[in-house]
Amino acid sequence: MIDIRPATVDEMLVEAQTLFEEHWNEIALNKDVMVLKPYEEKYRAAEEQGTIFILAAWQEDVLAGYSVNFVTNHLHYADMKLCSNDLLFIKKEYRAMSVGMRMMKATETQAKDLGCKLMLWHAKENTPLAAILPRMKYGVQDIIFSKEI
Contact 67, 111 (CB under 8 A): no
Distance, first Cα to last Cα, the chain: 46
Q: Decide: residue 100, CB within 10 A, 0-12 exposed, 13-18 middle, 19+ buried.
A: buried
Tell me what percent of the chain is helix, strand and coil, each rounded to the nearest 5.
35, 25, 40
| Digit-coded pLDDT (tens) for 89-99 | 999 999 988 99
Share of the chain above pLDDT 90, in %: 87
Give the model's pLDDT for residue 128: 87
pLDDT surpasses 90 at 143: no
Q: What is the mean pLDDT of the chain?
A: 95
Q: What's the pTM?
A: 0.93
Q: 3-state class of 32 per DSSP?
A: coil
The tens digit of pLDDT for each residue in 31-60 reads 999 999 999 999 999 999 999 999 999 999
CATH architecture of residue range(s) 3-135:
3-Layer(aba) Sandwich (3.40)
Helix (H) / strand (E) element for 108: namely: helix 99-113
pLDDT band at residue 147 using 50, 70 and 90 as cut-offs? confident
**Structure confidence at residue 145 (pLDDT):** 87
* Separation CA 107–CA 16 (nearest Å): 18
Confidence of residue 9 (pLDDT cuts 50, 70, 90): very high
What integer is the mean pLDDT of 62-67?
Answer: 97
β-strand pairing of 62-73 with 52-59: antiparallel
User: Could you tell me which of 42, 41, 66, 69 has the C-alpha nearest to residue 53?
Assistant: 69
